[in-house]
Amino acid sequence: MADNAEKQKQDSDLPVEELAKIYQTDLVKGLTSAKAEEIFKRDGPNELEKPPKPTLLTLFLMQLTSFIIILLICAACASVAVNATGPSAADPLSYTTGVAIAIIVLINAGIAAWTEHKAGDALEALSQMQQENATVIRDGRETEIPVSKVVRGEVVVLGVGDVMPADTRLFEASDFKVSEMALTGEPDDVAKTSKKKKNEGGEEKLLPENMAFSSCNVTNGAGRGIVTDTGMSTRIGRIAQLIAGEDGGKKTNMCGFPDTSANQTPLQKNLEKLGARIGILAIVICIFIFIIGWAADRRDPNNQESAAWLYMILVSVTLAVAAIPEGIPLCVTISLSLGCADMVNENVLVRKLAAVETLGSASVICSDKTGTLTEGKMTMVGMWAAGKTYTVTGKGFDPEVGGVQRADTQADGKNDMGVKSNLLAALLCCNTRLEKVKNDETGEMEWKHKGNSSEAPIVVAARKVGFSESISDEYPRVLEVPFSSSRKMMLTVSEVGGAALCPGGMPFTEPTKYLAVCKGAPNYIVDLCTETLNEAGEAEPLSDEAKKDILKIVDSYSARALRVLAVAARPMSELPYDVNDEDINTDQKFAACRQNLRLIGLVASIDPDRDGVPESVLAARGAGIRVVMITGDYLLTARAIAKNVNILQPTDDEDVAAVDCVCLRPNGDYIDKAEMDQLTKSVRVFARAKPEDKLEIVKSIQRQGQVSAMTGDGVNDAPALNQADIGVAMGIQGTQVAKGASDMVLTDDNFCSIVKAVEKGRAIYSGIQKFVAFIMSVHIAEVMQIFVCIVVGIPVMRTPLQILFLILVTDLPPSIALGMEPGESDILNQKPRPKEEPIVLNWMWLAMVMNGAILSIVIVGIYIISLSHFCDGEFLQARIYELDGFETKLSCAQTVAFIALVWAENIRAYISRSFTRPMWHDILGNKHMQKAIVMAQICLYVAVLTPGFSDLILGLRGVEVGIWGWAVALLGPFGTFVLSEAAKLISKWQADKYQQSLVTEDEKLPVRVVKPKVQEMKEDVSSVLPNKLGKKGEVVYASGDKNEQMEKPKGFDDMPLAAAIPGKRQQNPCCWVWCWH
């Protein structure tokens, strides 16, 4: 790091000619193609290093370190070892149990590894898709090359809208400014120079003024420079290295694999805890049964001479197979991988397999404004020109959609003198271009701007009224004074000719050769104006009262979150300064040209909220999730935007819910943790936020036990993305560093995608809980049945291979279907899960034990009946083994119990679709369940009716049990259905009680968002709402068509409403909101 700093200082201090010799380049001709290729081979691509991508084999081996998988491997080894030392060692069929367990382990590891491998490939594809180009000089010609191909010594050509491709020493800089916010967090643009300024004893600046750094946006002027560092040698590369850690992110665990424990999500931790608990319980049960069986001298019926302890080892392996839920890792992997695939369709790329679940548990979403809650495309929506007010329609950068209308009459105003004069004058004071480019992803042509985003609305609006792309070329520019934070305006002087600014535009009453135009902050511009343009095209004096009236118009625009610029001009017959006087600096020229300005008009733009965002914010609030907007905008603007997107509700106290981030650091240092936590607990809007503020806000939210999701796109957002429970990077605007620090990437930068991911995450987690409960109850039942058989002296009901077949062939498809269960209709009305909540809650454990006991009682009862029927009235092991042909008789009884269990489990699969609702509720709502049950039934009949496979391998005899056996087996599903539905009443009571325990006194009641029909809402709401809605804690959102005017509903005054507000959004201006408390 020290060497890099020293090199950077040397690159900054050396004369540029000497620097060019060091890098073997030419300031005019640049590098030759051959030299550039040589350097590229030596230094590698100009990109940030990514953590070494685990190979498919490494991912596969990592899956084998799970606690449950290790237990299964031990069980498989024990089975093979015991059989290898027994009398059937030469029989290949004796090893089927161990081989079957091994196959299941390999399948699970293979699916998990492949899924994570494909997720990594998808992220790489996204990264490649978003590569930018840079303009360089090679072989004496300007050419565009991919940023990754830029090498040290390259001469780069820079202009407004470009992104610095690498760390660069400038040797030409004309009013050149860059945004170093990604590096420093400071929002103000930084002026750069090509000269090395002497330090007059003051503190040396952190970033040299004659160098511009990789990933910084060029916001003004033009320049050229020599690339001095690329890739990880850049300043941003060193930040990325710090984020990865001193070891470069190469920590390993005790097995030598990459250590991912620090990045585990709640689901992964819960599964680890569940696996450990189950494993320890399985070991204890196996030891307990082994001791009991050994003490009771239980011997192998096929080899009575063998030792009891040897037989009990085989029984213990059977019990281990029955106790260890080998299907859980596979089902979880499949459920999460399918969830990740679904997220791609929702414009969410999940970088970590279980990350989507974490977002489902989020209780706070901290979101950027620009591009996430809003379009990220400044759009002009209003204009005041020559004393008249206009509405500008359209959205985004498409000049072919929308137009300019008079606000009072809705008449077309594009040919009005004031409109044409205002927009053309503003256009002459812009450096932004509008162009139609091909979208590489969709293949469609779309409009994009290149340059300052605040100028883009002016360029688009000018094209809407008919000005061509090349109109500025007809007015040669002779002077430009760029915008600065101190001037608060930009000034240009252009050559003009003729009697008017343009056909139909502002007339010139005196001979005019030059036109000075000022564009900037209204209060500064208006203060400099001495006259204004009226509707007739005449200049009239601008009095102090008139100025106040104009500023009131500005305030009315600002209150609607509109960004307002004033446009003023000064016709001149000659320049007010001597162009030949080299001693006149830019500030003096600026002061001379801005005198006696004529106010032409105002333009008001907004970054419109994205379609669906207001509804998504309401849905998030209904889900018990607090949406927090963190923006660099001023407080007044932030509040207005927050209202537009429903982050601030009518009942919120704006002074409490929306604050300036200065209150977090009143004296430069952050306030103490207790005070910070109290503040962040209730705030929904943080204005004028710096990137480092995000990190402190996240830490505070986490200290309160909340699960936080944080969005970000800049390099300085990376620490906050790392700190958050789940970091969400922007796919379009996000830097590679931000994406690398995140858990998931929004490919469309849209807040709505986050809310959809929350819903999907909750549905996935709920599905996992359901199939875990389903599988665990099966294993609990298997353990109970074997325990009863060993203790009572009944022949063991099933072999290990039969248990594996049951669990992984007939039970696994329904389990996977439960993992794909659609989210219940009220899933977004439920409260977020507590951060440390286990995947299986206490009341779920009781439900599993109850269902396991029900299954055991029913199946053991059927087994005993079958033993009595087929074994001459005997059911005890000792008596049965004395019968002639007992193997066939016992096999028939086991077959009836096997069939009954499969049928009962298929019924239970439908029962398990909900912990609280009856089985018949939306019984066909999960199409995957129907397929799974059909598959399970086919597997059953193959298992019991296929000669050779049924009797020789599985030991089942479906034909020999006859009609009696199949009829008795029907008692299994019937008894299970009746008893399990009865037990569900207990589960419902416990689940409701648990949900109530999550609601604290200081929290608002859950909110439900309802949209009644507009026809009903137009009528008497007093007769509509109380009967259909009106419940405590509900929010009712009723909206009309965007072109339809909806008056205040009748009966409004009689309703016990907390709030009712007319909607003001452009897409849907007619809406009302009711909230009961």
Residues serving a catalytic function are 368
State the amino acid at position 531 in one-letter form: E
Rounded Cα–Cα distance for residues 643 and 205 (Å) = 41
- Mapped onto helix, strand or coil, the DSSP state of residue 778 is helix
DSSP string, 27-47: TTT-B-HHHHHHHHHHH--SS
Encoded tokens for 655: 């002074």
The residue written with tokens 């106290």 in the block is 653
Rounded Cα–Cα distance for residues 877 and 287 (Å) = 22
Q: Which residues contact 897 (CB under 8 A, 6 or more apart)?
A: 797, 798, 859, 862, 863, 866, 969
Q: Evaluate whether 222 touches 158 at the Cβ level (below 8 Å).
A: yes
As a residue count, the chain comes to 1077
Closest C-alpha among 769, 890, 773 to residue 833: 769
Closest C-alpha among 705, 875, 857, 862 to residue 781: 857
Encoded tokens for 557: 């625009």
Q: Is the dihedral of CA 970, 972, 975, 981 positive or negative?
A: negative
**Pairing between strand 708-712 and 726-730?**
parallel
Rounded Cα–Cα distance for residues 430 and 173 (Å) = 19
Rounded Cα–Cα distance for residues 161 and 450 (Å) = 5
| Distinct helix (H) and strand (E) counts, the chain | 35, 30
Encoded tokens for 530: 């001495």
Q: Evaluate whether 127 touches 22 at the Cβ level (below 8 Å).
A: no
Rounded Cα–Cα distance for residues 650 and 660 (Å) = 20
**Pairing between strand 388-392 and 379-385?**
antiparallel
Per the DSSP assignment, residues forming a β-bridge with 686 are 630, 659
CA distances from 856 to 302, 892, 957 (A): 26, 19, 22
**Pairing between strand 404-406 and 388-392?**
antiparallel
Q: Where are the alpha helices (DSSP H) in 529-612?
A: 544-558, 586-593
> How many CB atoms neighbour CB 936 within 10 A?
22
Q: Evaluate whether 213 touches 207 at the Cβ level (below 8 Å).
A: yes
Question: Angle at Cα 187 formed by Cα 489 and Cα 699, nearest 5°?
Answer: 155
Rounded Cα–Cα distance for residues 646 and 621 (Å) = 9
Encoded tokens for 451: 């340059």
Rounded Cα–Cα distance for residues 37 and 34 (Å) = 5
Rounded Cα–Cα distance for residues 319 and 787 (Å) = 9
Task: Give me the phi and psi of 629, to 5 degrees please.
Answer: -100, 125
Encoded tokens for 287: 């030891």
Burial 978-1013 (b: 16+ CB within 10 A, else e): ebbeebbeebbebbeeeeeeeeeeeeeebbebeebe
DSSP state of 507: B
Q: Evaluate whether 240 touches 164 at the Cβ level (below 8 Å).
A: no
Task: Give me the phi and psi of 772, to 5 degrees please.
Answer: -65, -45
Rounded Cα–Cα distance for residues 247 and 543 (Å) = 68
Encoded tokens for 20: 């060019």
